[in-house]
Amino acid sequence: MNQYVTGAVIKELREKYHLTQAELAEKLNVSDKTVSKWETAKGYPDISLLEPIAKVFGISVTELISGNAVRNVNVSANMMRSKFYVCPVCGNNIHSMGEAVIQCHGITLTPCQAEETDENHMIFIERDEDEYYVRIEHDMTKQHYISFIAALSPDKLQMIKLYPEGNAEARFKINGVKKLLFYCNRDGMFFINIVKGIDDKQAIYDDIEERKALEQTAKMLFK
């Protein structure tokens, strides 16, 4: 392990949650002197205490060790912060709701960085009662294809795995969907935000020009 939890991180979290050293010590079944040693860099928590410490502050052990003190109790916030990983060897798709160390085939994967859709990755969305029908104009050969489409809402992730020689399409329940993502095995991940007003439209539309116009209008109205 190249990194371990520091006393500064523990102190920051303790103060953020308005706990005294004695109160934190009681929750962890240690003495307040022990907590003081951690925070003054005179000692480190035993590895068996990492999970209990993370649990007290509602974060993951990875977030605790990395110092990324992100509160992890609000599931809705986590879903919108979802991270996606794709193995370059087998194409395996992996999802996490926060910081994580993901490995596949001995490779430590980095989170995909989504870009806005472009003319080579056109997405079409049609409202069908309580669902979005999503279609992507894209090759679906064994060499070049879309591997998944995902819909993110504040409290839910809907993800459809796709395969070469199939269709680049999916259906998602509309309720609360804020963002659509999809992954091209050659060009990476792309996204489109569901802008206020779009899901009231009856006809099929493409995202390139109309979405940008709606986003500009939304910014003017709601800034």
Residue pLDDT, tens place only, 127-140:
988 999 999 999 99
CA dist 18 and 140 (Å) reads 54
For each of the domains in the chain, give its residue range(s) and CATH number, in order of start. 7-73 (1.10.260.40), 113-222 (2.60.40.730)
Identify the pLDDT of residue 91.
87
In the prediction, which pLDDT does 222 show? 52
**CB-CB contact of 173 with 131 (8 Å):** yes
At residue 54, the 3 state secondary structure works out as helix
Q: Give the whole-number percent of the chain exceeding pLDDT 70.
A: 80
Rounded average pLDDT over 149-163: 91
pLDDT at 100 over 50: yes
With residue 84 as reference, give the H or E element that holds it.
strand 83-86
pTM of the predicted model over 0.95: no
Report whether pLDDT(189) > 50.
Answer: yes
Looking at 101-105, 116-120, 170-174, 219-223, which range is the least confident one? 219-223
Phi then psi for 72, rounded to 5 degrees?
A: -115, 25
Residue 78's pLDDT band (boundaries 50, 70, 90)? Answer: low
Please name which of 136, 146, 135 lies closest in space to residue 184, comparing C-alpha atoms: 146
- The pairing of beta strand 188-193 with beta strand 115-116: parallel
pLDDT tens digits for range 109-128: 889 999 999 888 989 999 98
- 54 backbone φψ class: left, alpha, beta (φ>0; ψ -120 to 50): alpha
Write the CB contacts of 72 (distance below 8 Å, at least 6 apart in sequence). Answer: 58, 59, 60, 63, 78, 97, 98
